[in-house]
Amino acid sequence: MSGLGIEAEAFLRAFFTGMLLCGIYEALRIFRRLIRHHPLFVSVEDFIYWLFAGFFLFGEIFQTSSGEIRWYFVVGVAVGAVFFLLLLSKTGKFCGKLFEKKTGKHGKRVD
């Protein structure tokens, strides 16, 4: 595969990595809305998430470009995260509202 093809493949992998990380955090936010958390536990959950995200991103960068941070990888992660937030996050919010209507449960907003 040519150099451009390898970069395009790495960009797509970064795009899906950004979507995955955003999706995991969105699931964490939904979990927090369903079950009330003490602010200390919210901080601990966030710390664990960001620790996981950092190691996961390092692993992805290492696999795609031998540990070198490339601009297209950073842009791919950012574009994937924004794509998730703009399009797919709306679906999660809609489902959350349906759940609240059906069950009558209203979780405390943390975000």
**pLDDT for res 78:** 93
**pLDDT for res 107:** 53
Indicate the domain borders of the chain: 3-104
pTM (predicted TM-score) = 0.74
Distance in angstroms (rounded) separating the CA atoms of residues 56 and 77: 12
pLDDT < 70: residue spans in the chain: 1, 89, 92-93, 96, 104-111
Q: Distance of CA 75 to CAs 17, 18, 63, 68, 97, Å?
A: 11, 10, 17, 14, 32
**pLDDT for res 43:** 93
**pLDDT for res 5:** 80
Distance in angstroms (rounded) separating the CA atoms of residues 79 and 16: 9
